[in-house]
Amino acid sequence: MIEQLVLDTLLNAVKELYKQDIPSKLAQVQKTRPEFEGDLTIVVFPLLRTSKKGPEQTADEIGNFMVSNLNEVTSFNIIKGFLNLSISSKYWVKFFNDNSKLSTFGKHPKKKLAPVVVEYSSPNTNKPLHLGHIRNNLIGWSIAEIIKNSGQEVAKVNLVNDRGIHICKSMLAWQKWGNDVTPKASNLKGDKLVGDYYVIFDKKNKEEIKALVETGMEEDEASTSTALMREAKEMLKRWEDNDTTIRELWSTMNQWVYNGFDSTYSRMGIDFDKVYYESSTYLLGKKLVDQGLELGVFFKKEDGSVWCDLSDDGLDEKLLLRADGTSVYMTQDLGTAQLRYDDYHPSKLIYVVGNEQNYHFDVLKLILKKIGKSWADNISHLNYGMVELPHGKMKSREGTVVDADDLMDEMYKTAKQTSEDLGKFDDLSIEEASSLYNVLSLGALKYFILKVDPKRTMTFNPAESIDFNGNTGPFIQYTHARIRSIVRKSKALNLVLDDSISHDYVFETKEKSILKILHDFPEITLQAATSLSPALVANYAYELAREYNQFYHEVMILKEIDSEKRNFRISLSEFTGKTIKYAMALLGIQVPERM
């Protein structure tokens, strides 16, 4: 890496010239801004204290040192306190010749480390997937790919919350008002059907609460003492007691939901290496709670409920088991964490879960440590921000929840419409066209979500459809298609005779700037892995595509007369196309050969 080379030489320069070692943070190397001449820039201000000379003179001395000690540095210029270095075209030529034909450019060698477990999606079986889940799934899937690309082994896992009071609510409502309806009979996706009964429960329960309040009961009390709630709790108890009828109904309805989820996942291109179900981890969780009691780090209240006191850590008491012995969220998460640890002994356990659960994960780690699990330190919570609408959160009560399937349908229609308006695909078969619209619509949706820093709360406006122009997935896809067209034509014309360029090739400005961006790619993918941010890759792909389009408009490629230039430009195009494709693949976005 040239940056590192310059940095090391800079440290040597200071040592030689001023007889002092300096802390590495004073040695600052950055890319030269395009308006100045040069490739890399050393900021000399931090060095003045050491050199005890003015900025110009210091820069001049270091510049001379660079030129005579580093072959790659051919010349320099000084503007204010900035020392701009020009890197030899030999270096860029070598970079190009070494990498342009690699199929794995950007991929890092395998490390010998325990795997990283990435959990994402984690749906409840009482609600269909919505836009929030889409963000979760896309971030999780992509970050898993990015970490894999960085050389780490990765296990993608899903944790389905298939048990608990909420599932019982759907089941109860279905029993009471469902008339034995099935997804097949109603022609509804299973997750939608079950979700509907969850809503029905809520509605009927509210009516009951209202009635109770009218008899003079306090709202708080009323909300926990409706007949429906009692029945749901009773059902949960029977479920935990392995009641056959309840278990059968539960399996049936969950299976409906899974079928629905699977179709949504597969459409989105989301997959998992392993799926955990809370129904099979909560018992282990209960066992851990018992252990905690024996260790004396948990305590039991008079009503039989079990708690962990975290007041020494600045937090509250946390419930671990209800008085009736049934488990809560934390119980099952303890069990799941343990099970994963046993399965993988991971070097890192990443939970992709919304930032509304930050508190939960702080507590989870603390509790695990209290019962002696030192590996709790390997848990990291990738807490992404919520997706909001222009007027705030999505609310199911107000019907503003953006359903995942509906949104993908919308996007598909827009992609189809846009494409038909452009009228470029009249020769495609119906299947080919539809597969293209799929690629484009998903590209638009995924890029829209992933280009935003995961940490940030993001806004989605359902009134404006997601764009297909500008800083979008389709723009990048288009650039790829454009490149492929060039490459196809060059092959048809047998234009590329020689793949590599000579070491004294003189670059056009745009050729150089594309080369520099390509040069950054491996580093960007590493940064994305360490900072857990697919957004870095997304923004990178956009920058590369934008730069390429400018290049495309500025210079001739196939029509260039000078054969070396023409060959280089074609190869550079191909290299760019490949890198765009690779970067987009890390985001789970396909790129078409033509569009």
* Chain residues 117-156 in contact with RNA, contact rule CB under 7 A: 124
Which residue, 404, 397, 402, is CA-closest to 199? 397
Residue among 351 and 542 whose Cβ is closer to RNA: 542
**Residue 334's beta-bridge partner residues?**
none
Nearest distance in Å: CB 426, RNA? 12
Q: Does 550 bind RNA (CB under 7 A)?
A: yes
Nearest distance in Å: CB 470, RNA? 2
In the range 4-43, which residues lie near RNA by CB under 7 A?
25, 28, 30-33, 35-36, 38, 41, 43
Nearest distance in Å: CB 26, RNA? 8
Backbone angles phi, psi at 111, to 5 degrees: -95, 150
Residue among 154 and 476 whose Cβ is closer to RNA: 476
In the range 294-313, which residues lie near RNA by CB under 7 A?
301, 303, 305
Give the helix ranges, DSSP H, for 280-399: 282-295, 329-344, 358-370
In the range 499-538, which residues lie near RNA by CB under 7 A?
527, 535-536
Residue among 380 and 471 whose Cβ is closer to RNA: 471
Nearest distance in Å: CB 308, RNA? 12
CB 467 within 8 A of CB 476: no
Which stretch in 109-117, 397-405, 547-555, 575-583 sits in contact with RNA by CB under 7 A?
Answer: 547-555
Which residue, 181, 199, 319, 307, is CA-closest to 256? 181
Length of the chain: 595
Among 71, 295, 390, 498, contact with RNA (rule: CB under 7 A): 390
Which residue, 560, 589, 587, is CA-closest to 572? 560
Structure tokens that stand for 101 in this block = 């034909």
Distance between CA atoms of residues 414 and 420, nearest Å: 10
Residue among 26 and 181 whose Cβ is closer to RNA: 26
**Per-residue exposure over 301-334, b if at least 16 CB sit within 10 Å of its own CB, e if not:** eeeebbbbebeeeeeeebbbbbeeebbbbbbbbb
Query: How many C-beta atoms lie closer than 10 Å to residue 113's C-beta?
Result: 12
Q: Does 177 bind RNA (CB under 7 A)?
A: no
Among 96, 120, 276, 478, contact with RNA (rule: CB under 7 A): 478
- Measure Cα distances from 489 to 43, 483, 494, 495, 498 in Å: 45, 10, 8, 9, 16
Contacts of 256 (CB under 8 A, 6+ apart): 182, 183, 190, 191, 193, 194
Which stretch in 62-70, 137-145, 162-170, 198-206 sits in contact with RNA by CB under 7 A?
Answer: 162-170
Which residue, 558, 471, 576, 560, is CA-closest to 514? 576
Residue among 291 and 527 whose Cβ is closer to RNA: 527
CB 114 within 8 A of CB 519: no
Residue among 255 and 457 whose Cβ is closer to RNA: 457
Residue among 154 and 578 whose Cβ is closer to RNA: 578
Give strand ranges (E) for 80-185.
82-87, 116-119, 154-160
Residue among 141 and 548 whose Cβ is closer to RNA: 548
Q: Does 84 bind RNA (CB under 7 A)?
A: yes
Among 51, 539, 571, 590, contact with RNA (rule: CB under 7 A): 539
Nearest distance in Å: CB 472, RNA? 6
In the range 317-356, which residues lie near RNA by CB under 7 A?
319, 322-324, 328-329, 355-356
**Residue 350's beta-bridge partner residues?**
118, 380
In the range 392-431, which residues lie near RNA by CB under 7 A?
392-393, 415, 418-419, 422, 424
Nearest distance in Å: CB 48, RNA? 7
Nearest distance in Å: CB 103, RNA? 22
Q: Does 359 bind RNA (CB under 7 A)?
A: yes
**Residue 387's beta-bridge partner residues?**
458
Q: Does 386 bind RNA (CB under 7 A)?
A: yes
Which stretch in 63-71, 99-107, 133-141, 477-485 sits in contact with RNA by CB under 7 A?
Answer: 477-485
Q: Does 46 bind RNA (CB under 7 A)?
A: yes
In the range 435-474, which residues lie near RNA by CB under 7 A?
440, 451-453, 455-459, 461, 467-472, 474
Residue count at the site for RNA (CB under 7 A)? 94
Cα dihedral 478→484→487→491 (10° resolution): -140
Nearest distance in Å: CB 573, RNA? 9
- Measure Cα distances from 409 to 132, 241, 436, 465 in Å: 17, 42, 14, 12
CB 431 within 8 A of CB 489: no
Among 117, 144, 486, 501, contact with RNA (rule: CB under 7 A): 486
**Per-residue exposure over 411-447, b if at least 16 CB sit within 10 Å of its own CB, e if not:** bbebbbebbeeeeeeeeeeeeebeebbbbbbbbbbbb
Q: Does 546 bind RNA (CB under 7 A)?
A: yes
Among 139, 349, 591, 595, contact with RNA (rule: CB under 7 A): 595
Q: Does 557 bind RNA (CB under 7 A)?
A: yes
- Measure Cα distances from 161 to 124, 166, 276, 335, 348 in Å: 5, 10, 9, 13, 22
Residue among 54 and 372 whose Cβ is closer to RNA: 54
**Residue 157's beta-bridge partner residues?**
119, 274
Among 19, 52, 112, 553, contact with RNA (rule: CB under 7 A): 553
